[in-house]
Amino acid sequence: MALNRPQWLADLSRGFKRHRQGRSGWTAEVMRDRLRVVSAELPPRPDEPANAAPKRRAVTLATPPGPSTAAAALAEACALFDAVTAGTWRWPDPSAIPAAGEADRLTPPVLQRLTDQLQKAVVGERVSPSTWRRMYHPFLARLIVVAGERRWTDDRELLTALLRQWEPNTRARQMAHDRVRQAWRLAGWPWSPEVALMRGNGKAAASPEGVRAFNDAEIQELRSRLQRSNKLTPADLNAWDTLAVFGLRPAELQGLKLLQVDGQLVAQVTRQKRSSRGSSGARQVPAVPPADWPANCFDLLERWDLHGFPPGMLAARSPGEVLAQQLSRLKLSKPVSIELPVELTPYGLRHGFALRLAQQLGLHVRESAVLMGHSPQVHLATYGRRLDQPGLLAKVRQLQAVTH
**pLDDT for the residue 281:** 67
Can you give the residue ranges of every domain in the chain?
2-86, 108-205, 217-395
Work out the average pLDDT over 263-276: 81
Lowest mean pLDDT among 200-209, 233-242, 263-272: 200-209
Element containing residue 266 per DSSP (H, E): strand 264-269
Cα gap 243→258, rounded to integer Å: 12
Q: Are 99 and 79 in contact (CB under 8 A)?
A: no
Lowest mean pLDDT among 164-173, 195-204, 224-233: 195-204
Which residue(s) pair with 57 in the sheet? Answer: 39
Q: What is the pLDDT of residue 1?
A: 43
- Give me the residues paired with residue 28 across strands: 37
Confidence (pLDDT) at 389: 57
pLDDT at 159 > cutoff 90: yes
Q: In this structure, how many other beta carbons lie within 10 angstroms of the beta carbon of residue 46? A: 12
Q: pLDDT value at position 392?
A: 47
Residue burial 228-256, b: 16+ Cβ < 10 Å; e: rest:
eeeebeebbbbbbbbbbbbbbbbbbbbeb
CB burial of 183-222 (b: ≥16 within 10 Å; e: otherwise) equals: bbebbebeeeeebeebbbeeeeeeeeebbbbbbeebbbbb
Out of 13-27, 193-207, 314-328, least confident range: 193-207
Q: Which residue has the higher pLDDT, 92 or 131?
A: 131
Q: State the fold for domain 217-395.
A: hpI Integrase; Chain A (1.10.443)
Residues 6+ apart with CB under 8 A from 124: none
Beta bridge partners of 148: none
Interior angle at CA 89, CA 84 and CA 95, nearest 5: 140
Q: Which amino acid is at 190?
A: P
- Mean pLDDT score across all residues of the chain: 88
